[in-house]
């Protein structure tokens, strides 16, 4: 059975307002996205596996989840949406996650600051179903970046396999060349071997008698 590709996208929604949080959660689920909703920026960072002072944790936390996009309210007590955005973008392990900010206040300076800080979009509340369509390209970008490490590992494995096969083939070729060279050397040795000369009869002077004739 085919699985809707959009259902594979996971969105983390952050809003301190219960009503707004339920609304965004319902809209995301209607758009076939997986949703995790929390009421504060600190809880969002905890779910993302972020630890203060540790930008790239060596061991993933049991609560850490894979997130393809974060959508957060701007005005929240304790940690604002902008503060959450900064934390994510300053983290080497989280900076590639797309972040979208939403607010009920249309303040140009606030919008510009968020966009310049790395936010993909700034939505004005109330959020509409049409806004969910705008999330799609950012979700795809986040999903692609998640897949890049595994693709890189697969490519390295293929390269190592090719290198190993090439090395084995080279060794076999060298062995064949050495074998042929040894055979050629044996042939050369046979050619250079001095064959014994055929024995020829030798005349001995002892078989002859010299006769001297006096002059008559």
Q: What is the tens place of the pLDDT at every residue in 82-101?
A: 999 999 999 999 999 999 99
Q: What is the tens place of the pLDDT at every residue in 10-20?
A: 999 999 999 99
pLDDT value of position 70 = 98
The mean per-residue pLDDT over the stretch 144-151 comes to: 56
Is the pLDDT assigned to residue 209 strictly greater than 50? no
Is the pLDDT assigned to residue 59 strictly greater than 70? no
What is residue 122's three-state secondary structure?
Answer: strand
Quote the pTM value: 0.64
| Structural domains of the chain, ranges and CATH numbers in brackets | 5-155 (3.40.50.2300)
Looking at mean pLDDT, say which of 14-18, 56-60, 166-170, 190-194 comes out highest.
Answer: 14-18
Helix (H) or strand (E) holding 12, with range, is strand 10-14
d(CA 49, CA 65) in angstroms, rounded, equals 8
Residue 153 in contact with residue 125, Cβ under 8 Å? no
Q: Which residue has the higher pLDDT, 73 or 212?
A: 73
């Amino acid at each position: 059975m085919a699985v809707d590709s959009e259902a594979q996208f996971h969105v983390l929604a952050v809003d301190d307002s219960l009503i707004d949080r339920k609304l965004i959660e319902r809209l995301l689920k209607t758009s076939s996205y997986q949703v995790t909703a929390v009421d504060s920026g600190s809880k969002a960072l905890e779910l993302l596996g972020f630890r203060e002072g540790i930008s790239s944790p060596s061991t993933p936390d049991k609560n850490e989840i894979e997130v393809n996009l974060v959508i957060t309210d701007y005005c929240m007590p304790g940690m604002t949406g902008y503060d959450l955005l900064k934390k994510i973008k300053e983290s080497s392990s989280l900076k590639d996650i797309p972040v979208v900010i939403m607010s009920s206040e249309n303040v140009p300076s606030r919008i510009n600051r968020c966009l310049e800080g790395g936010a993909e979009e700034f939505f004005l509340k109330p959020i509409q179903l049409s806004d969910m369509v705008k999330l799609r390209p950012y979700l795809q970008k986040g999903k692609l970046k998640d897949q890049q490490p595994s693709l890189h590992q697969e490519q390295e494995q293929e390269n190592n396999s090719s290198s190993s096969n090439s090395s084995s083939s080279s060794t076999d070729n060298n062995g064949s060349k050495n074998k042929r060279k040894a055979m050629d050397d044996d042939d050369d040795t046979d050619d250079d071997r001095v064959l014994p000369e055929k024995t020829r009869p030798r005349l001995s002077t002892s078989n002859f008698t010299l006769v001297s004739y006096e002059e008559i």
